[in-house]
Amino acid sequence: MIRRPIFAANWKMNKGPSETEDFARALLPHVQHQTFPCDVVIAPPFVSLAKAAEMFGNVTSVALAAQNCSQFDAGAYTGEVSAMMLREFYVHYVILGHSERRAIYGETDEIINAKMKKAREVNLKPIFCIGETLEEREGGKLEEVLRRQVTKGLEGFSEKDMADTVIAYEPVWAIGTGVTATAAQAQEAHAFVRSLIGENFGADTAARIRIQYGGSVKPNNAAELMACPDIDGALIGGAALEAPSFLAIIQNGTAA
């Protein structure tokens, strides 16, 4: 099974519209009229999506993602943005279940599952993030945590939903810390996640689903990680804030 790798820039709470424009000007010469052997996705903050859509709207090699959406359709939810609203910004993906949303904003597996369903209702492709803390890993709970996150987060998903879902395995202890999981640690977790997808959705879906690695991915470790058989791309935070390093990760990662 050849899975098309997917590299996504998660800008988190960085870059308003003017910095988004600067980034786009730096990236555009390298992505316009180019085809990549992978999908390239950029996830700016909500307020920069319109600028990103303006800059990348006619660039077929780059797709946009949002970093979150509401679990509700519309109404009295101050501060929230619905999945449906995102469709107006040429957004095709939405990052859900990120560990920062889980830890800082108290998002439970149930809330994440409700958001996943809202995303699918309007045909957005979830980038569904899972991953264990250091305490959980050291306490021997890695598999238990991943099993719970996968089973609850994807509850009610059909085969079609799964075909449009990307999973991002991001060990919490590797996010923004400069400590990357070793390729062996990442591969082991990815193979386990793929086996969980097999248990829940069958072998065919397991073979097709793309599982990104995330957590301190940099140009100098992308090749080693992407060479692992169950790693199908990366979700990149810090190193995706500058166009050259994002591009270098894509280049090194796809040359692997």
Instruction: State yes or no: residue 156 binds ligand PGA (CB under 6 A).
Output: no
Q: For residues 200 and 202, what is the distance between their CA atoms, to the nearest angstrom?
A: 6
Binding of residue 231 to ligand PGA (CB under 6 A): no
- Distance in angstroms (rounded) separating the CA atoms of residues 190 and 212: 9
Phi/psi at 145 (nearest 5 deg)?
A: -65, -45
Nearer to ligand PGA, 94 or 206 (CB): 94
Count CA atoms within 13 Å of residue 171 on its CB side. 25
Q: Does residue 235 belong to the site contacting ligand PGA (CB under 6 A)?
A: yes
Residue among 169 and 201 whose Cβ is closer to ligand PGA: 169
The 10 Å Cβ neighbour count of residue 73 is: 12
Binding string, residues 176-205; x marks residues near ligand PGA by CB under 6 A: x-----------------------------
Contact range with ligand PGA by CB under 6 A, out of 18-26, 44-52, 196-204, 232-240: 232-240
* Nearest alpha-carbon partner for 64 in 72, 56, 73: 56
Determine whether 98 is an active site residue: yes
Stretch that binds ligand PGA, among 68-76, 187-195, 197-205, 214-222 (CB under 6 A): 214-222
- Give, as one character, the DSSP assignment of residue 46: G
Would you count residue 236 as binding ligand PGA (CB under 6 A)?
A: yes
Specify whether 92 is catalytic. no
Within 25-84, which residues bind ligand PGA (CB under 6 A)?
none
Report the alpha-carbon distance of residue 13 to residue 155 in Å, rounded. 29
Degrees (nearest 5) of the Cα angle 153, 128, 188?
A: 95
- Point out the catalytic residue in the list 30, 98, 143, 242: 98
Structure tokens at 175: 């996010």
Question: What values do phi and psi take at 133, rounded to 5?
Answer: -80, 170
Told to check if 237 binds ligand PGA by CB under 6 A, we report yes
217 part of the interface to ligand PGA, by CB under 6 A: yes
What is the binding site for ligand PGA (CB under 6 A)? 10, 170, 175-176, 214-217, 235-239
Catalytic (active-site) positions: 98, 170
